[in-house]
Amino acid sequence: MNHNYRLLKYLYENKLEVSGDIIVLVTQEIIAKNLHFGKGKVNRIINDLQSLGYLDNNYQVKGSYKLTNKTMMFFQTMKKVGMELNDQI
Q: What is the pLDDT of residues 38-83, one digit of tens each?
A: 999 999 999 999 999 999 987 777 889 999 999 999 999 988 776 5
Domain boundaries defined on the chain: 3-80
Cα 81 to Cα 59: distance, rounded to the nearest angstrom: 30
Sequence-distant (≥ 6) Cβ neighbours of residue 43 within 8 angstroms: 28
Helices vs strands, H then E, count in the chain: 4, 3
Strand order in the sheet with 21-25: 16-18, 21-25, 64-66
Residue pLDDT, tens place only, 3-36: 999 999 999 999 999 889 999 999 999 999 999 9
- Name the CATH topology of 3-80: Arc Repressor Mutant, subunit A (1.10.10)
Total-model pTM: 0.85
